[in-house]
Chain A
């Protein structure tokens, strides 16, 4: 299949691109940094024996560039079967509370701009008869929790959008997949101590590819987080107010 990956130069996006490339899928890479993109394209060519169809700069903090990047991808791939969005920003509660400018960017990148990107991709996919839109949200959006008041709120909004999108357009051939990773050891979380059930990007990517192949609309990965979050969602407010999780 032909896949477009936003955030393909590191972490989960990189692992996804490598695994899709290894099984013969044709890729188009999107990312923020031209040199990282060029190196990731070479990485995929050297590992898989076949270069990606191309790459282009696309920065979630600059929505005015979305159309150009997607134009380039559609031109290079011809037909696009899957659009995968793994990019996003993270900040600890403390960092975001103390830095309004950073908070504003994070809110925009993770919520409004991700949705603007998805809307553009949705239109293009629907125009071609459908496809799959797979977006990384987070378990942080499942319940209002103290350590992720701000980050979690963007992911809560995003998860709602993705669910609704799936309901609205599946009948027209557009499958929307909302991925909720738990803690995954990537560059984004490098400054944090990994909790129990922390995942590796490679195994998370395997789960995501399976979800794409099967059209599973909601995926918790690593799996243990499905259970953890089910419990968290059931906890009474009085308990949530007391615990630090």
Chain B
């Protein structure tokens, strides 16, 4: 027997619901164990809350947000071909615990394992292998969805492809994702061979990323975004590949313990000199020659996961992450002025990440496209909106775009200006949800849904 909206809401609790950047809004939160039962009256689904901005935050106080992580049944896993189907709340952490040591890994992983499969589809996540592997959506074979009219619809690249590609990267706004089927990848060992080295400036960084991309399946750069002058854009380039069985230790990596960020960091610790010192420390403690080592994939792919609640590091007011991709003619000529703006304003980001992106995915709002992606944390201050607007101007001018999963401050007009595919996506969304029943704080801000 189906529940009425009141019955479902009754099981939810009033809560302040925030993204990873910790800027929250009031709503009704229901931690669901049965997505089928709880989806008909939901305004939005939410996974593990690692989206930084307002994409999993309620549009209104009365909106029902269904959290999926307790709906985490694995429905099948074919150990011959890697086909896997699960409920949308299954986390990447669980998948890694179950299958990493058995020789299987997700084809694309984001920088945290605290994400659900539903979230990986909704954000169409990318990772250190984007230059060769593309985004997660590329490996998804089917989705079971609850659409806004209450129906259950199966879609995939061949079945209802329009709905499918609007959902891949569609921030959960085209329907609620109940089940995900995708293909896992065979790995030769549960270890990563990793090489890292210092890079002295931005131009060298872009060249090094391009060169490493030819040889390595996983590449990423950490960059010191406070360094000005000739060494602007210096940092550490990290490359990796799965170790072959003969290079790997016989035993799998041991489980690591997490430490927990015990308090909200006071704002003075985020002052420019201290963040600059931290970044210089990271740079200079890396040995000058190339460092080669075997790594636990968990430490390689998810360095920040080692600190639970690390988002408290940016203090009580929260933070936003700014991630954009900018086209690159090969000489860093477009990202250099972007960095000059950043370093001039002295954005105190502890860690900034640079990565070259490969081809654009088929998801209508999928983030990556060929060029250089930059991600940095911005602690929220009074001028954060203005700063984001300034960075966005540069992105628009050069044909780049921002990542919705990170965003909380972009203006609707700016997003429209950087997203030529937006109208196509909006048309599909309107077709499946003419009244805009499925909505988030982000969809109100960017897509004109009723507040």
A residues within 8 Å of B by Cβ?
10-11, 36, 39-40, 42-43, 45-47, 49, 185-187, 190-193
Contact = CB atoms under 8 A, between A and B. Distances in A.
Contact of B13 (A11, A46, A49, A193): A193
B31 A43 contact: no
Q: Identify which of A10, A11, A49, A190 gathers the most chain B CB atoms within 10 Å of its CB.
A: A190
Nearest to A35: B36
Interface string B27-62: 000111110000000000000000000000000000
Interface stretch (B70-78, B319-327, B434-442): B70-78
A94 to B, nearest CB: 12
Contacts of A193: 13
B73 A39 contact: yes
A39 B75 CA distance: 6
Contacts of A192: 13
A47 B33 contact: no
B98 interface: yes
B73 A187 contact: no
Interface in B366-412: none
Contact count band on B: 10 to 19
B444 interface: no
B11 interface: yes
Nearest to A43: B73
Contact of A42 (B31, B34, B74): B74
Interface of B: 10-13, 30-34, 70, 73-77, 79, 84, 87, 98
A191 B77 CA distance: 33
B11 A191 contact: yes
Contacts of B30: 190
A78 B211 CA distance: 63
A48 B117 CA distance: 20
Given A10-B70, A42-B76, A187-B70, 13 more contacts: A39-B73, A39-B75, A40-B73, A43-B73, A46-B75, A46-B77, A47-B98, A190-B11, A190-B12, A190-B31, A191-B10, A191-B13, A192-B13
A18 B443 CA distance: 38
A42 B75 contact: yes
Contacts of B32: 187, 190
B100 to A, nearest CB: 14
A187 B75 contact: no
A57 to B, nearest CB: 16
B29 to A, nearest CB: 9
A45 B76 CA distance: 8
B74 A187 contact: no
A172 to B, nearest CB: 38
Nearest to B79: A49
Nearest to A39: B73
Contacts of A42: 73-76
Contacts of B73: 39-40, 42-43
Given A47-B98, A192-B13, A187 B31 contact: yes
A10 B79 CA distance: 26
Contacts of A49: 79
Query: What 8 A-B pairs have minimum CB-CB distances, sorted nearest first?
Result: A43-B73, A187-B33, A46-B74, A46-B77, A10-B33, A190-B31, A43-B74, A42-B75
A49 B77 CA distance: 9
B75 A43 contact: yes
A49 B30 CA distance: 31
A4 to B, nearest CB: 20
Contacts of B84: 46
Contacts of A11: 33
